[in-house]
Amino acid sequence: MTAIVVYIDQLDAPGKLSTTVGQLLTLARGAGEPVAVVAGPASAALLAELGAYGVARVLHSEQAELGEYLVAPKADLVAQAAAAVSASAVLVDNSPAGKEIAARAGVALNAGVITDAVAVTYDGGTLVAHKSVLAGSYTVQARATSAVAVISVKAHSVEASLAAEAVIPAVEAVEVAFAPASLAARVTKRTPRAASGRPELEDARIIVAGGRGLDGDFTPVEELADVLGAAVGASRAATDAGWISHASQVGQTGKKVSPQLYISVGISGAIQQKAGMQTSKLIVAVNKDAESPIFEIADFGIVGDLFKILPQAVEEIKKRRA
């Protein structure tokens, strides 16, 4: 069976497998023999989890350069490990770093690179990546024509599932030969960002997003999000104003999300905002201006004052649950 490499970053939170990686391992197991390529320690806890996903082979490196320089050393690791196991495909997560690892590994392996896959299927020996393009106006199927395919995959491409039988992975330490230019952009400082305690935008089933209409106070949006167990998103107007972290921005230059439900509050619906949310299953809009473009794409729209409507909805949900 052909080897499918899944890249796993263990530098930041060693011992813990992210939910997206579980999905990538599930995809890899469906298409071939999953091989985990790990940057960082291959701890006992990690190996047990990988074994449960049916990973029989783990290649890892703990070389300090992997964390000391931006992205490039990790791409060297992925490319050299993929070549060592004669992988037919490499799967990475679709974060900015994931896409860049894919980009550089693609150059090193002379492999076709496909980003932003929402699903990966298997068709007569080749992987087919499904993605949406042009702000969600088209869905396309793309495949690599090279011997190796490199695909960056978005969250929820598949439901993660464990192998029928757990295996005990064989672990090999690899010594990456870093290209000189890979050790050129040094990370001199790393400041952790405060966690909100709410679901991540990409993981959330429901998102409540606020815009300039919030006028500096995100409390109504946060209270609705919390009774719904939702993530909080924002327009660029709101993040630029500093009312909420830039990491919460949805849109062309923020996160691209497709939750079950997106509740847009005090957001006009500019083209760049729509680019990040119009593939949501259901869209609800609350805006006091009936002419706002957001209403053109809303399944349920309310023309009115968010400061009245949101608190009333929060009270009603609490009442019905009591």
Partner 1 sequence: MENSALNIVVLVKYVPDAQFDRHLTGDAHTIDRSESILSELDEYALEAALALTDARGGAKAGNVVTALTLGPASAAAAVKKSLQIGATQGLHVTDDALAGSDASATSLALAAAIKTLGPVDLVITGMASTDGETSLIPAQLAARLGLAQLTFASELEVEGGTVTARRDGDDYSEEIEASLPALVSVTDQANEPRYPNFKGIIAAKKKKVTTVSLADLGLAASAVGAEGSLTTVSAAAERPARTAGTIITDSGDAGIQLVDFLAAQKLI
d(CA 159, CA 93): 15
User: Angle at the Cα of 194 (from 192 to 195), degrees rounded to 5?
Assistant: 115
User: Which 3 state secondary structure label does DSSP give 117?
Assistant: strand
Exactly one of 8, 266, 279, 295 binds ligand FAD (CB under 6 A); which one?
A: 266
Joined together, the tokens standing for residue 287 give: 């805006």
Exactly one of 273, 278, 279, 280 binds ligand FAD (CB under 6 A); which one?
A: 273
Site for ligand FAD in 297-316 (CB under 6 A): 305-307
- Of residues 40 and 301, the one with the C-beta less far from ligand FAD: 301
Contact 17, 38 (CB under 8 A): no
Query: Within a 10 A sphere around the Cβ of 228, how many other Cβ atoms?
Result: 18
Site for ligand FAD in 208-237 (CB under 6 A): 211-213, 235-237
Let me know if 85 is exposed, middle or buried by CB neighbors in 10 A (0-12, 13-18, 19+).
Answer: middle
114 binds, among partner 1, ligand FAD, none (CB under 5 to 8 A by kind): partner 1
311 binds, among ligand FAD, partner 1, none (CB under 5 to 8 A by kind): partner 1
- Of residues 235 and 279, the one with the C-beta less far from partner 1: 279
From the list 17-25, 67-75, 133-141, 207-215, the region that binds ligand FAD by CB under 6 A is: 207-215
Contact 82, 105 (CB under 8 A): yes
Contact 8, 17 (CB under 8 A): yes
277 binds, among ligand FAD, partner 1, none (CB under 5 to 8 A by kind): none
Closest CA to 306 of 261, 268, 249, 258: 268
94 binds, among partner 1, ligand FAD, none (CB under 5 to 8 A by kind): none
The size of the interface with ligand FAD (CB under 6 A), counted in residues, is: 28
**Residues near ligand FAD, by CB under 6 A:** 211-213, 235-238, 249-254, 266-268, 270, 272-273, 276, 286-289, 292, 305-307
